[in-house]
Amino acid sequence: MDVSFRKIDIDQYDEDVLLESELCEPDPRDPAQVLNDAKQKAAAVRQSLARGDIAGALTTALEDAPYGPHVDEAKNLTLQTVVSILNSTKSTEIPNIVRALSPDAQDVLMKYLYKGMAMPGWGDVSGSVLLGWHEKLTEAAGTGCIVRAMTDRRLV
């Protein structure tokens, strides 16, 4: 049986197809600069965690999140940084930390929670940690945070 017809990209013949580059504006920074910024943020987060400033560390990690093509290494480094913060936080401290975040930072945190859940085997973080953060974030930010995280084309 001939199945070669399944390998044809029919979108190439469609004039109205949307490209990813048309859906959102790419990150204006150079990919090398984005990676350098992610490394600096990771170092700043480690210092904040050493001082016990979890809210400050999370705020630092969530600002200017890398997005767009060609910055996958920076995205993975930032995800690891956020996951390290999530793992090192006591469950009783989560509600206060989430309330201290700005609405934009809450939306970015929700994106990282979903990215962590999408990892095979959930990566370095246990499911209970991600779901606990998701619960507390949804209580503080409402379900609109979920909708904004899922509809935003800028993927972290």
What tens digit of pLDDT does each residue of 6-57 get?
777 777 777 777 766 677 777 788 889 999 999 999 999 999 999 999 999 9
Which tens digits make up the pLDDT trace of 109-131? 999 999 998 887 766 677 889 99
Q: Which residue ranges form the domains of the chain, and what is each CATH number? A: 29-151 (1.25.40.190)
5: pLDDT strictly greater than 70: no
Segment 74-100 shows an average pLDDT of 94
What is the reported pTM?
Answer: 0.84
Strand blocks (E) in 5-145: none
User: Which has more pLDDT, 126 or 134?
Assistant: 134
Percent of the chain with pLDDT over 70: 92
pLDDT score of 122: 63
Q: What is the DSSP letter of 123?
A: T
pLDDT score of 126: 77
Mean pLDDT of the chain: 88
User: Which has more pLDDT, 63 or 69?
Assistant: 63
Sign of the Cα pseudo-torsion (90, 142, 68, 38, in order): negative
- Return contacts of 68-72, CB within 8 angstroms, 24+ apart: 68/24, 68/26, 68/27, 68/154, 69/20, 69/21, 69/26, 70/31, 71/27, 71/31, 71/34, 71/35
pLDDT score of 125: 72
Count other Cβ atoms within 10 Å, centred on residue 24.
13
